Chains A and B, each alone.
Chain A
Amino acid sequence: MELYRSHVLICGGTGCTSSGSKSIEQAFNEELEKHNLAKEVKLVRTGCFGLCEAGPIVIVYPEGSFYSHVKVEDIARITEEHLLKGRIVTDLLFKEAVVEDQIRSINEVDFYKKQQRVALRNCGVIDPEDITEYIAFDGYKALAKVLTEMSREEVIETIKKSGLRGRGGGGFPSGLKWEFTYKAQGDQKYVACNADEGDPGAFMDRSVLEGDPHALIEAMAIAAYAVGSNQGYVYVRAEYPIAVDRLQIAINQAREYGLLGKGIFGTDFEFDLEIKLGAGAFVCGEETALLNSIEGKRGMPRPRPPFPAIKGLWEKPTLLNNVETYANVPQIILNGAEWFANIGTEKSKGTKVFALGGKINNTGLLEIPMGTTLREVIFEIGGGIPNGKEFKAVQTGGPSGGCIPASCLDTPIDYDNLISLGSMMGSGGMIVMDEDNCMVDIARFFLDFTVDESCGKCPPCRIGTKRMLELLDKITEGHGEVGDIEKLEKLAENIKASSLCGLGQTAPNPVLSALRYFREEFEAHVYHKQCPAGVCQGLLNFHITDGCKGCTLCTKACPVNAISGEKKELHVIDTDKCVKCGACVDKCPFKAIIKK
């Protein structure tokens, strides 16, 4: 085996690829060639490091030097200084990697310090396109253990004892699902993976697929053994081309190594895996809709029961878990149920991956033990709100979740706490909002999403959400009437109670949680025709402040003659005449015209 004195890890996740990590890899190759270092330094293209905000990211080991926002021009310096002479290029390091002239390695940076990586353990560590690297990190060891040392019942018992719950949204105990599928009658059973990560602002499953695809393959093989299946399907959304490519490469390699196919590890167990592509329909993240879509039909949900564990794909018992849930499985098998159950809170075990985004300094992916508080996540790991703005709310659970206000920031994160706050865990998107975001507008944004994505099968969701959206449109445009808020609440309750699937049942949550914590903002829109955050155009009025020098430029710019005033004196806007075109704001040289 060849030994290298340094390893250069380049992030090849979607985030960093978008900000140009491919050309950086090429530049490194050229530089290493030039300095004859190709035999001493190894380049590895890994999955996501998590801190997408700082991308493209390059890490140099053994030092763990964390270079952020790397540009092609920087590569020559990093190669000549760091790789050739052993001097870390301090000014190119991530800003928090240098504190009081002390250089910190990547693991000492605040963003990573508080994290505990189970599902993401190999992301940003190994080359996802090389099965031998996965094997070197204990890969497929859990599968070997299961096939050669454990009975099917023991595997299920281990998952049950670990307390693992579904990471895709509902939080149903995974072990129970496995047991139901195991016990279900059927000559053929399937295992399926939900990688249709449709929640806007969530990309944890994609990162696992991109950074550690073999973990999913191994886990699905373990699950197949436990429930008695020989065929698996991974349903991936077509918006994730890199993830699909890497997963396909991984499947091919696993087949080559005899880890998929017949007679795995010399036993009579056989299992194979196929990728099924989605085609852009959010509802397909709902389990029964997903099954229809794999079968090649319109992705509309089926009534439950029967649950997929009894009648799933082609009416056969089917085990369906999401990517992150599966990614935990090999670790649970290797380290034992108790190890996993020791992490987290009483009812929510293990860790959870969150995608932190919105108005936050460190956007990216992080994995924390359950029970970490929202405050720790947002202010310690996430580094707080940029531009000195005030924190307003954090949205979790995507279109099925809700907004959590500042007063609840000290709540430990787990399934049950988030539900009692009126939100939910969901797949783990976490979008931070500051004082400039209008909560009515955000509620409208989510409703707009669900109306678009409602499949149309059941009337409460198809018609009800549309009516809610119309009410919210009316309110944000400034035509809200007394009684509208109450109507919204009533509709929301009815839709929740009577929709067929999870999409409809949770669609009103963003509105209900916004009403619960930010009712005064709705009231300001309806009763006072004001948008306190200054977002809803229809409610804003232009005003001229004392900064006005009376230059009359605005008067000339106004198309409806709504501005009056003498030369060199303060001007006034007639808000009744004003059409809010903003022409005056553009013209004012003193920035004296504001929206309020």
Chain B
Amino acid sequence: MAKNIFTQENFAKLDVVIAKHKGQRGALMPILHEAQKIFGCVPLEVQKKVSEELNMPLAEIYGVVTFYSQFTLEPKGDYVIGVCLGTACYVKGAQKLIDKIKELAKVEVDGTSADGKFSLVATRCIGACGLAPVLTVNEDVYGRLVESDVPGIIAKY
């Protein structure tokens, strides 16, 4: 995970984003969303920058970042595996998928594998209940799964 995310280029992009939203009401959330896209996470260094630019206490920004589950303080793995734990997926055996992924990708829930390749999250309902149980790997969606489908999916990445 030696990737340096604090490049000048990234901070330059952040400047543009802040300039775009500055002065708008409720500007913080859109800025954090875009910051996360740029840096892959919203670490303290980024929060400090936002705090200075918006003239807003760092504590308040940290409070918002840690309140919402989509913002993360640390970078995620290259491939984020999201297993839906909505009710429809749960009653159809999503827990078994999680157990299998943990074993195969060597990753814990909400953790990242040692090689930085996979992160595993138990997501909220993504609304694909018709295909339950469902998992996502970055933008790809896999539905109607059984435990034995998991090795094939992991092997693709």
Contact = CB atoms under 8 A, between A and B. Distances in A.
Interface of A: 14-15, 17-19, 51-53, 55, 197-203, 206, 238-240, 276-282, 293-300, 314, 355, 357-359, 363-364, 395, 398, 429, 431, 433, 437, 442, 445-446, 455
B68 interface: yes
Given A15-B128, A18-B131, A363-B132, A431 B87 contact: yes
Contacts of B28: 296-297
Given A201-B86, A239-B124, A294-B26, A357 B129 contact: yes
A236 to B, nearest CB: 12
Given A363-B132, A442-B91, A18 B124 contact: no
B23 interface: no
Given A52-B131, A201-B86, A357-B87, A18 B64 contact: no
7 contacts: A198-B125, A200-B86, A203-B129, A206-B127, A281-B69, A300-B67, A431-B88
B68 A15 contact: no
Contact of A296 (B26, B70, B85, B88): B26
Nearest to B143: A18
Contact of B127 (A14, A53, A446): A14
Contact of A363 (B26, B87, B90, B130): B130
Interface of B: 25-30, 32-33, 60, 63-64, 67-71, 85-88, 90-92, 123-132, 134, 141-143
B92 A359 contact: yes
A450 to B, nearest CB: 12
B67 A298 contact: yes
Contacts of B32: 279
A14 B128 contact: yes
Given A201-B88, A281-B68, A363-B88, A357 B29 contact: no
Contacts of A359: 91-92
Nearest to B68: A279
A449 to B, nearest CB: 8
A424 B67 CA distance: 28
B133 to A, nearest CB: 11
Contacts of B25: 295-296, 314
Contacts of B90: 200, 445
Contacts of B27: 296
A358 B28 CA distance: 38
Contact of B69 (A18, A199, A202, A279): A279
Most buried by B among A197, A297, A395: A297
A314 B131 CA distance: 40
Contacts of A198: 124-125
Given A200-B88, A314-B25, A52 B128 contact: yes
B29 A293 contact: yes
A239 B123 contact: yes
A297 B125 CA distance: 24
Given A18-B134, A298-B63, A201 B129 contact: yes
Nearest to A295: B26
A296 to B, nearest CB: 4
Contact of B129 (A296, A299, A363, A433): A363
A296 B67 contact: no
Contacts of A295: 25-26
A367 to B, nearest CB: 15
B91 A431 contact: yes
Contacts of A14: 126-128
A98 B10 CA distance: 58
Nearest to A15: B130
Contacts of B30: 276-277
A363 B133 CA distance: 12
Given A278-B68, A293-B29, A294-B26, 7 more contacts: A14-B126, A18-B141, A279-B33, A279-B71, A280-B70, A297-B60, A446-B87
Contacts of A364: 130
Contacts of B85: 200
Can you list the 8 inter-chain pairs with the closest CB atoms, starting with the nearest? Answer: A52-B130, A200-B86, A279-B68, A203-B127, A357-B88, A18-B141, A296-B28, A357-B129
Nearest to B61: A296
Given A277-B33, A295-B25, A398-B87, A239 B127 contact: yes
A405 to B, nearest CB: 16
Given A296-B28, A363-B129, A358 B91 contact: yes
A422 B71 CA distance: 36
A195 B87 CA distance: 19
B76 to A, nearest CB: 14
Contacts of B127: 14-15, 197, 202-203, 206, 239-240
B146 to A, nearest CB: 14
Task: Please indicate which of the listed interface residues B67, B69, B92, B143 has the most CB atoms of chain A within 10 Å of its own CB.
Answer: B67
Nearest to B86: A200
A357 B130 contact: yes
A42 to B, nearest CB: 26
A200 B127 CA distance: 8
Given A200-B88, A395-B87, A298 B64 contact: yes
Q: Which of A18, A51, A203, A278 has the most CB of B within 10 A?
A: A18
Contacts of A395: 87
Contacts of A51: 130
A418 to B, nearest CB: 17
A297 to B, nearest CB: 7
Between A53, A202, A357, A455, the greatest number of chain B beta carbons within 10 A of the residue's beta carbon is seen for A357
A232 B127 CA distance: 25
Nearest to B136: A18
Contacts of B68: 278-281, 299
A252 to B, nearest CB: 17
Contacts of A15: 127-131
